[in-house]
Copies of this chain bind each other. A is one copy, B any other.
Amino acid sequence: MRLVIARCSVDYIGRLTAHLPMAPRLLMVKNDGSVLVHADGGSYKPLNWMSPPCRLVEADGQWTVTNKAGEQLVITLEDVLHDSSHELGIDPGLVKDGVEAHLQVLLAEHIETLGDGYRLVRREYPTAIGPVDILARDPAGSAVAVEIKRRGEIDGVEQLTRYLELLNRDPLLAPVRGVFAAQEIKPQARTLAQDRGIECLVLDYNAMRGLDNSADRLF
């Protein structure tokens, strides 16, 4: 990894065009050729960048980074205040927990969260347009399709609606009810769901973890 602090101007020409006026910034050149231009603020997203695979040509105080699609990042350097290189090696990578997949496992394990007498049919129930998160049967034996989100927004309701439309064409399943389950459900999503006869269910992640069988945990 090479780190350069320099006054520079940057132009990106690709999916859009963008320009950064001359100012002091950090240029990070990674081992895979990718280049990141960072300012001393903002969040983790660089002001401008080129993703790998790409090629960096340095000539006459100007860096030209090109990728296979012909997108270009042109960096013009005026004053170089710092320039150092470092060998880091390959990173062992990140281990995560707490995302939608885990919510799905937890709800499948504790399907009674939907109500007493519910039975799990399966997780990732396949359909022509993709898998439904959970398919279950209610105490009366009717099919119930569950869409799980960390944050329940309008797109998730649309997604569940498409699944329900398809599942209800299957005479072995119909009628299929929908349940929209999320840690947090936005008001607009809730309104749309209710308008379509879809039940909303707020999941308590920590409470469900508390019920969790530790042998089955993802981590």
Contacts and interface: CB of A to CB of B under 8 A. Distances in A.
A88 B39 contact: yes
Contacts of A1: 5, 26, 38, 40
A31 B23 contact: no
A80 B87 CA distance: 13
Interface in A41-60: 41-49, 51-52
A19 interface: yes
A68 interface: no
A88 B18 contact: no
A1 B158 CA distance: 44
Nearest to A129: B188
How many copies are assembled?
Answer: 2
A166 interface: no
B44 A34 contact: yes
A94 B47 contact: yes
Contact of A51 (B16, B39, B44, B95): B44
B84 A26 contact: no
A44 B49 contact: yes
Given A30-B42, A44-B45, 19 more contacts: A1-B40, A3-B26, A19-B94, A23-B91, A24-B89, A25-B91, A26-B28, A26-B86, A30-B38, A32-B41, A40-B87, A40-B90, A41-B90, A43-B51, A43-B52, A47-B93, A81-B86, A155-B158, A158-B158
18 contacts: A1-B38, A3-B3, A15-B98, A16-B96, A18-B94, A18-B95, A20-B92, A24-B86, A25-B88, A25-B91, A26-B86, A30-B38, A34-B43, A40-B86, A40-B87, A40-B91, A45-B45, A155-B155
